[in-house]
Amino acid sequence: MKFFADTAEIEPIKELAATGLLDGVTTNPSLIHKSGRDFMEVTKEICGIVDGPVSAEVVALDHATMMKEAEVLRKIADNVCIKVPLTVDGLKTCKALSDDGTMVNVTLCFSANQALLAAKAGASFISPFVGRHDDNGFDGMDLISDIRLIYDNYDFDTEILVASVRHVTHVLESAKIGADVMTAPPKVILALFKHVLTDKGIEGFLKDWEATGQSIV
């Protein structure tokens, strides 16, 4: 499963990229606002840190303006992935851009039928929002299972990008279901490394090693 960082903050992206385990980045207008940075500038900087897809979202609601915005965004770097909302105009834009060889991430997906439409429109990624789904009394992971089943039934190439990830259990469940990608805030990705018994084990080994009086280097 690929790991994308869901942030527009440069430092955590650099920290995660240095692990060699970061496959891409997703941003949205709220994350750009939170970063306090200029959209074009920060997107270009992120594209220079990671080799994989960096999602940059259009903000227009109509197809013609979405296409104009996409034209500007895709010139930022070769690894920019245009993010469009799951609306009629968003999917028209997805189809036009995909036919033209541009990577597209269809966002704000809350049903398996919407995911089916995005795959038919040639999306590179579909972003079902599991956390927001849970917040509204549904089971976000059921949505991922349904999309996996449908995409496998028809051999769609669209990758399932689990979004709105809130905790490590979302990551575990996504991997068990066979999602292609998950995007999470850096703190959730860093939490995946942690286990109290790992820390305790290191502490015990180091104490005993010190008692031997030896050194490796």
Residues that bind ligand E4P (CB under 6 A): 6, 26, 28, 107, 127, 129, 131-132, 163-164, 183
Distance (Å, whole) CA 27 – CA 23:
14
Distance (Å, whole) CA 188 – CA 200:
21
Residue number with the shortest CB distance to ligand E4P? 164
**Residue 183 corresponds to which tokens in the numbers above?**
């995007």
Distance (Å, whole) CA 189 – CA 53:
17
Paired with 109 in beta bridges are 128
Given the complex with ligand E4P, which of 26 and 102 has the nearer CB atom?
Answer: 26
Amino acid at 56: A
Active site (annotated) includes residue 92 = no
Reduced 3-state DSSP string for 13-43:
HHHHHCCCCCCEEECCHHHHHHHCCCHHHHH
Distance (Å, whole) CA 90 – CA 83:
9
Instruction: Point out the catalytic residue in the list 83, 92, 176, 200.
Output: 83
Closest approach, Cβ 208 to ligand E4P, in A, equals: 43
**Residue 171 corresponds to which tokens in the numbers above?**
């990551």
Place of tokens 């689990």: 162
Given the complex with ligand E4P, which of 43 and 183 has the nearer CB atom?
Answer: 183
Closest approach, Cβ 199 to ligand E4P, in A, equals: 28
Q: What's 107's DSSP letter?
A: E
Closest approach, Cβ 78 to ligand E4P, in A, equals: 20
Given the complex with ligand E4P, which of 28 and 102 has the nearer CB atom?
Answer: 28
Phi/psi-derived region of residue 213, left when phi > 0, alpha when psi is between -120 and 50, beta in every other case: left
Given the complex with ligand E4P, which of 129 and 151 has the nearer CB atom?
Answer: 129
Given the complex with ligand E4P, which of 6 and 206 has the nearer CB atom?
Answer: 6
List the catalytic residues.
83
